[in-house]
Amino acid sequence: MERFSNTAEKCADLIRSSKEVVVVSHIDADGLTSAGIMCTALKRMGKPYTTRFEKKLDSAALKNIADNCPGKLVIFTDLGSGALDEIVALGIPAVIADHHQPRPVEYEYHLNPHLHGLNGATDICGAGMSFILAMKLGDNVDLSSLAIVGAVGDLQDMRNNALVGVNRQILEMGKEHGYLFFEKDLKLFGRQTRPIFKLLQYSSDPFIPGLSGSEDSCIAFLENAGVHVRTDTWRRWIDLSPQEKKTVTSKLIQYCLSCGMQPYKVQRLIGDVYTLLKEEPGTELRDASEYSTLLNATARYDHADIGLAVCMGDRGDAFNYARDLLEQHRRNLVNGLNYVMDKGVTRLENLQYFHAKKEIRETIVGIIAGMSSSLDCVRRDMPIIGFANSEEGIKVSGRGNHDLILRGLNLAKAIGESADEVGGAGGGHDIAAGATIPFGKEDEFITILDQKIGKQLRPKSQ
């Protein structure tokens, strides 16, 4: 964290000396937690602020910001680095706290892990960068919880099945001050809120043959392991005794291995899980992963204001509304995965893709592309690209994995350059990137992208 100290201090000075600020952030869990951290810090300082959420920071969005916020300092969180050249060219007075691959432009008030030899997909997220800045603005150590929710929301714990790098430092700090707790546990989604059998039933990453998708077999599996799924009410993971948790975990591992699941997939069942100690047990907010999904359910459906209110402490109307949105989000993710499963994917030499047209909302096609890697029809030795229609053009979302990164994959570069060549724009991270391209350019784009990825990838080691 120390390596950011000088730049963070400069940014904090600029914020302190500005009369009014505008926080501009990204519409996903990391973007919302970033904004939640920054707005809370500003509120505590008594600094007047307004907020704006953007799907992406293209020329139109930047121009709009430049025109509508004259004289105000703009704090970009979880975005901005990829548009730094334009921000500077437009003369927007800005502080940037981001983790996306930056444009090669010198700028004094730019916080980004890539400028310090760190990886923006694993070491720290937008919320982490915002937290580092917030720590220079006041006593904001409690906001470490939101920084961890942001990191988990961006799946920064996937590579090592645990948070590493600066994320880990923030985690330790939150733990030391009594805000966070972490432990190794079954890493299935819904530990706090869902009936145990549903954790198994909805496990898509990894997909558990014979259990994923089948309520009856999940209930039978648990009862056979001697763990009752119901007492007065459905029991949740947090209701089980430590012994029961152990039994389920080891029976599940045995089961997965016995039905031929590859060991690397089985390993993904266990990993660090993160608990927010100041939140009510049994709510989505108590678990970092459930919290981040709750936030995605607001921001990706044009309700970023609701998610931000939750991040800033609303446990009433906004929280209840967010929970309603979550139900719909879950249905959309399941429907999206079923769509990919039904239609299958098209394979080129170095990538595979699906085109969802209007069937998957463009704001969640990336989540579905990522989750689809556990489907049988999707190969893990090439990236997966999803297309969906959006108002401005065709939305592209690409997802890779750690093995592909080791072989040289950089999706941000490949997708960004291919989009440029067909008159679109994009960027992101080595492991996950996106773009918007003009209508009708999909075939041309995917051919170019296939070639670029072919050039990046070294052959598989045997």
Residue 205 vs 244, nearer CB to ligand C5P: 205
449 binds ligand C5P (CB under 6 A): no
Nearest to 96 by CA among 129, 68, 121, 145: 129
Please say which residue, 195 or 428, places its beta carbon nearer to ligand C5P: 428
**Position 113 contacts ligand C5P (CB under 6 A):** no
CB of 202 to ligand C5P, least distance (A): 8
Q: Is 140 in the site for ligand C5P (CB under 6 A)?
A: no
Cα(344)–Cα(340) distance, rounded to whole angstroms?
A: 5
- Number of residues written out for the chain: 462
Among ligand C5P, Zn ion, none, what binds residue 112 when CB lies within 5 to 8 Å by partner kind?
A: none
Short-list 447, 443, 430, CA closest to 100 = 430
- Does 123 contact ligand C5P by CB under 6 A? no
Spatial contact of 371 and 361, defined as CB atoms under 8 Å apart: no
Q: Of Zn ion, ligand C5P, none, which one sits near residue 155, judging by CB under 5 to 8 A according to partner kind?
A: ligand C5P
Bond before 206 cis per omega within 30 degrees:
yes
The whole-angstrom separation of Cα 71 and Cα 250 is: 60
How many Cα atoms occupy the beta-carbon half-sphere of 205 within 13 Å?
19
Q: What is the DSSP letter of 286?
A: G
Residue list 243-302, contact with Zn ion (CB under 5 A): none
Among residues 33, 112, 292, 456, which is the contact residue for ligand C5P, using CB under 6 A?
292
Spatial neighbors of 225 by CB under 8 A, at least 6 apart, are 247, 248, 251
Total residues contacting ligand C5P by CB under 6 A comes to: 37
Between 72 and 99, CB nearer to ligand C5P: 99
DSSP string, 175-238: HHTTSEEEEEEE--S-TTTSBHHHHHHT-BTTB-TTTTT-HHHHHHHHHHTT--SBSSSBPBGG
The residue among 18 and 25 lying less far from ligand C5P, judged by its C-beta, is 25
CB contact set of 95 (below 8 Å; sequence gap of 6+): 11, 14, 15, 73, 74, 75, 76, 109, 111, 133
Beta bridge pairs of residue 371: none
**Owner of token pair 């949740």:** 236
Choose which of 355, 399, 441, 452 interacts with ligand C5P (CB under 6 A).
399
Q: Are 79 and 427 in contact (CB under 8 A)?
A: no
Q: Binding string, 164-183, against ligand C5P, x = CB under 6 A?
A: --------------------
Look up residue 391 and give its two tokens. 């108002």
Applying CB under 6 A, among 174, 195, 393, 426 the residue interacting with ligand C5P is 426
293 near ligand C5P, judged by CB under 6 A: yes
Site string for Zn ion, 117-146 (x = CB under 5 A): --------xx--------------------
Per-position x/- string for 203-232, each x denoting binding to ligand C5P as judged by CB under 6 A, each - no binding: -xx---------------------------
Decide whether 236 or 429 has the Cβ nearer to ligand C5P: 429
Q: Binding to ligand C5P by residue 427, rule CB under 6 A? A: yes
User: How many residues sit in the footprint of Zn ion (CB under 5 A)?
Assistant: 5
Nearer to ligand C5P, 174 or 427 (CB): 427
The reply to whether 154 sits near ligand C5P by the rule CB under 6 A is yes
User: Is residue 154 a contact residue for Zn ion (CB under 5 A)?
Assistant: yes
Q: Residue 133: which of 57, 52, 35 has the closest Cα? A: 35
Burial class (CB in 10 A: 0-12, 13-18, 19+), 262: exposed
Interface residue with Zn ion, options 7, 42, 76, 78 (CB under 5 A): 78
Per CB under 6 A, 307 contacts ligand C5P: no
Rank residues 322 and 433 by Cβ distance to ligand C5P and give the closer one.
433
The distance from CA 438 to its chain's CA centroid, rounded to whole angstroms, is 26
Start-end of H helices in 232-287: 242-258, 263-267
Chain residues that interact with ligand C5P, rule: CB under 6 A: 26, 28-30, 56, 78, 82, 100, 121, 153-155, 158-159, 189, 204-205, 292-293, 296, 366-367, 370-371, 397, 399, 425-429, 431-436
Chain residues that interact with Zn ion, rule: CB under 5 A: 30, 78, 125-126, 154
